[in-house]
Structure 1
Amino acid sequence: MESIQMAALALVGGWATGLNLYLTAAALGVAHRLHWIVLPGNLEILGNPVVIFFAVLLYLIQFVIDKIPFLDSAWDSVHTFIRPVGGAAIASMAFSDSPESLQYAVAAIAGAASLNAHLGKAGTRVMINTSPEPFSNSAASIAEDGIVLGMLWLIFKHPLIALVLVIVLAAFIIWLIPKVFRFIKKFFQMLAGKKDPAVVSIPVTKPIDSN
């Protein structure tokens, strides 16, 4: 595997785990199993039928949960630690034949990329859940899965494009996250009735001098 493709697999693959760890693992494993791609280093373990089975099972569970308002946010909260660790592990296994120092560096970068995508996904989902209609969750979930599969395809077909896209998306998420969380904060303050009370000025009348 070429260096540019290895870099894309680590960075783009890590970022994809932040959107959907189980779909990323399942897609890579199935593609390796069917000989569509060859996974490097210890990452070939994803092609093991047992690993594929559990990755697909967990993906199907998430596929359902991800479309239910508020339950999707609870699922995201649980995965705040799991997804970055999964992204770091995938990158580290891909570079298992490299020096340990490089493995640690790649794992850290992939973990950070995964956390970036996860925070963007989780924050956007909380914002979507403020809407009364139930269809936005399903649309967002399907779009996220499409992005994951599209990014994985680009890794092996056009790795440079995949890298550029992820860098742009990661930068956009860094810009977006503060705005999303400010919106969420204001929304929950409104629900809790924490709006600043209006200041009412009371006129003071001067007492009348009887003299």
Structure 2
Amino acid sequence: MPSDTTHLIALAAALGWASGLRLWAVLLLTGGAGALGWITLPPGLHVLENPLVLTAAGVMAAVEFLVDKIPALDSIWDALQTLVRIPGGAALAAGVFGGDDATWVAVAAVLGAALAANSHVAKASVRAAVNTSPEPFSNIALSLIGDATVPAVLWLATAHPVALLVVVAIAVLLMATTTLLLVRFLRGVVGRLRRRFSPSTP
């Protein structure tokens, strides 16, 4: 393993966790930073600097930016993105260690998938709960927070890797707790709706 192991672990954690929130923005920002020479990406992530990859990521990031501001449509988008965010987080985390021991690659892939799943499920649960409110402003505010979180996390991984690992660890615990509470809340909402609209028994 290289001497900057902490930086690599922090980058893998950041990429995995942030992918659960905004995979396409992660691809765009990471590849763009590498292409512009702002950071030196590990060999396994050099493909992100390809102009075609950057263009595709940019288009998808723009679509996600807009869709994520629209109540109900954001939850549909989140459901569809389950198919790509979690595998994407795994692939990006593994790519950080792509040139090293296969054990590190496998561990990074598993942790990347777990971190992406954690943030993705929490995000989807929060947005689904917020969608029970008729006003759109809370949705937009939460979406903007997500937009700002991704570049902040990626910057922290390169500038202050130890701080990033602490932040991600705390975020994982908070998101897991939030998800459990919101799942109970949403089950209660669904149950009330079923009772309200189910035919009354004589």
Q: Distance in 2 between matches of 1:191 and 1:139?
A: 27
Q: Distance in 2 between matches of 1:67 and 1:192?
A: 28
Residue ranges of structure 2 left out of the alignment (5+ in a row):
198-202
The answer to whether the aligner puts 1:141 opposite 2:134 as a matched pair is no
Q: Distance in 2 between matches of 1:41 and 1:66?
A: 32
SS state at 2:195 partner: coil
Q: Distance in 1 between matches of 2:190 and 2:134?
A: 15
Which one has the bigger helix percentage? 2
The one-letter code matched in structure 1 to 2:150 is V
1:158 to 157, 160, 177: 160
User: Which residue of 2 is the match for residue 203 of structure 1?
Assistant: none
Provide Cα deviations, 1:125-154, integer angstroms capped at 9, x if missing partner.
Answer: 000100110111111111001111100000
Q: How does 1:54-133 map to 2 (within 5 A)?
A: 54-133=56-135
Instruction: Between 121-130 and 97-106, report the one with greater CA deviation.
Output: 97-106
SS state at 1:68 partner: coil
Q: Distance in 2 between matches of 1:96 and 1:33?
A: 18
The 4+ residue runs of structure 1 with deviation greater than 3 A are none
Q: Distance in 2 between matches of 1:32 and 1:75?
A: 28
The answer to whether the aligner puts 1:30 opposite 2:20 as a matched pair is no
Provide Cα deviations, 1:48-107, integer angstroms capped at 9, x if missing partner.
Answer: 111110001001111111011111101111112311100110111111111112211110
User: Which residue of 2 is the match for residue 189 of structure 1?
Assistant: 191
Q: Distance in 2 between matches of 1:3 and 1:194?
A: 56
Q: Distance in 1 between matches of 2:150 and 2:58?
A: 14
Q: How does 1:4-19 map to 2 (within 5 A)?
A: 4-19=6-21
- Displacement of 1:186 in angstroms is 0.8
CA RMSD in angstroms comes to 1.3
TM-score normalized with structure 1 length:
0.89
User: Which residue of 2 is the match for residue 179 of structure 1?
Assistant: 181
Q: Distance in 2 between matches of 1:6 and 1:168?
A: 19
Percentage of matched positions with identical amino acids: 36
SS state at 1:155 partner: helix
Q: Distance in 2 between matches of 1:118 and 1:13?
A: 13
Q: Distance in 2 between matches of 1:184 and 1:194?
A: 15
The one-letter code matched in structure 1 to 2:102 is E
User: Which residue of 1 is the match for residue 200 of structure 2?
Assistant: none
User: Which residue of 1 is the match for residue 169 of structure 2?
Assistant: 167
- Select the structure of larger CA radius of gyration: 1
- Displacement of 1:194 in angstroms is 5.6
1:41 to 37, 40, 43: 43
Residue ranges of structure 1 left out of the alignment (5+ in a row):
196-211
How many pairs were matched up?
195
User: Which residue of 2 is the match for residue 198 of structure 1?
Assistant: none
